[in-house]
Amino acid sequence: MKSRIAEKARVLKRLRDGKFNVPDFIYVPASDFENEYFEALVEFLRKHQESYKVITRSAHPQEEFFKGGTFDSLDTYADLAGIKYARNRMIKLANTTKRLTILRQQRFNNAPELNPDEMGVIVMPFIYGTNIMAKMLGDHWEFGYCRDRIHKIMSEPYITYTPHDTKLLQISKDIQEYLGFRCEIEYIYSEDGEIHVVQAKDISTVDTMELKEDERSIKLDGLRRIRKRRNYRERPVFLMDNQAFYMEIIGQCENLVHGWKKPKPGIEDILKIITSYETEMKDFALRHQRFGIIGLSIQTPDELYQIANHYLEDIPELQNELSKALLENRYKIDYFLSEADTLIAKEKLRINLCSHDAYGIDTVRNPMWSAYWAVDRHNDIVHKFNEIGFKTGDVVGIDIDLEEKPTVQRL
C-alpha cells in the first residue's frame, strides 16, 4: 500500500495536466516522512511563505474506500514543523476521534483494514473563500455551499441547483467529462472571484437511491435539514440521558464515602459505570449503520459535572482517576453523536456540520436530520418519552407535515 499514490493526488495531477485551475500543490507520501526526505517539500514551502499558512489535506493510500470527511484537512503554518504537526494530528484523530467512524465503515461498507501511520498529505497554499461542493444527481447538478470565510456573518450550509456563478456549472461538466467518471468536486471560490478546484472524488459506485417511506407519537416543534426530498424516516434509536448517568455516578460516590450501601463500592465500581456506558454506545454504533439519538439529556448540567468532579476530593488519588475517566467519557459521547444521522433533542442542541456532513455524496440517501422541541416544553416532552416507554433499540419513525413540524412515532 505504501507505494500506492492516493486518489486525491492522482486526480489532482490529472486535472492540473488538463489545464483546470488547480492551486499549486505537492503530494508527500508516508515514506517521505519515514525517511525524512523533505527537499521537495521545503522548496515548495519556500515558494509559498508569503501567505504564512497552508492547508494540509489527508492523502492516505486507502482513503478512496472511505466516505468523504473520514480523514481531516488542517490549516497550518507554511513550514516543515507545521506540516509534520498536521500529519501527526491526522494520524492521532484517525486513532481516536475518527476511530468509531472507521470501524463502522469497515463493518457496514466493507472498507479495508487501515494503518493510519501510512498517511500521506497534500499541501496547498491556503485560500480564503467559500467552500463549494458539486456533483451530478440524476439529470441535474447540485451545489453545496459551506465555510464562507469571506463574510463576517456566516450562513448555514445550503444546497442549490443554481450556482451563484454560471461558470461553476460548466467547469463541473468539463471536469466530469475529462475524468470520465461521475465525481464529487470540491471548489474554493476565493475573495477575488476565482474558482479553484481543490479535490475531485470518484463517486461512480455510490448508490443514491432514496429511502422508502411508512403509532405512538410525539409532536415536536421543528426540523433542521439540508435536503428536503423526503418527509419520512425510520431509525433505530439510542436513548441518551446523561443527567441520569451522572446521578448514578454521584450516588455511587456517596456510597463509597459514607458506606450507606453494603458491600461498600470501590472506585472500580464507579469506573465500571462509565466504561459500561461507553461500551453500550460503541456496540450500538457497530450494530446499526444508520441510527438516531433521542437526547433526553445530552449536555450534562454544570452542577452535576462539578459535583462528580469534586465529590471524592478528600481522596485525591481516587478523584483524579474519576475526573480523568469523566473527561475521556465526554469525548467518547461526542464521537458517538457525530456518527448519528438523526438527532432528536431540545431546540438549543444541534450537530455542527462540516461540508461533507452537510452535503457530501454520502448524505444524498441519508442527510442529517435534527428534530427538536422548544426549550419551554422540555420537561413535558421528556415526560412523554418516558411515559410512552421509548428505550434504546426501539425503531422510530419521523413524519414531517406540510409546516415542517415532525412527529416522532415509536414503531
Cβ atoms of 134 and 172 closer than 8 Å:
yes
Number of domains observed in the structure of the chain: 2
Same domain? 260 vs 161: no
Q: Using one digit for the tens of pLDDT, what is the confidence trace for 249-272?
A: 999 988 888 876 678 888 999 999
Q: Residue 365's pLDDT is what?
A: 59
How many angstroms separate the CA atoms of 181 and 299, rounded?
Answer: 44
Q: And the C-alpha cell for 32?
A: 517521505
Same domain? 171 vs 220: no
DSSP annotation of 352: P
Residue 333 domain flag: yes
Q: Which is it for the CA torsion 114, 115, 120, 126, positive or negative? A: positive
At residue 369, what is the residue type?
W
pTM assigned to the model: 0.61
Confidence band (pLDDT; 50, 70, 90) for 316? confident
Residue 67 domain flag: yes
Within 18-96, residue ranges assigned H as helices are 30-34, 39-47, 80-95
Give the domain-ending residue among 137, 167, 202.
Answer: 202
Cβ atoms of 249 and 273 closer than 8 Å:
yes
Q: Is the pLDDT of residue 358 over 60?
A: no
Average model confidence (pLDDT) across the chain: 86
Cβ atoms of 126 and 54 closer than 8 Å:
yes
Residue 211 domain flag: no
Q: And the C-alpha cell for 304?
A: 452535576
Same domain? 198 vs 221: no
CATH number, position 25: 3.30.470
Q: Mean per-residue pLDDT for 94-110?
A: 92
* Closest residue by Cα to residue 267 from 254, 279, 277, 253: 253
DSSP annotation of 268: H
Confidence band (pLDDT; 50, 70, 90) for 153? very low
Q: Using one digit for the tens of pLDDT, what is the confidence trace for 128-142?
A: 888 999 998 877 899
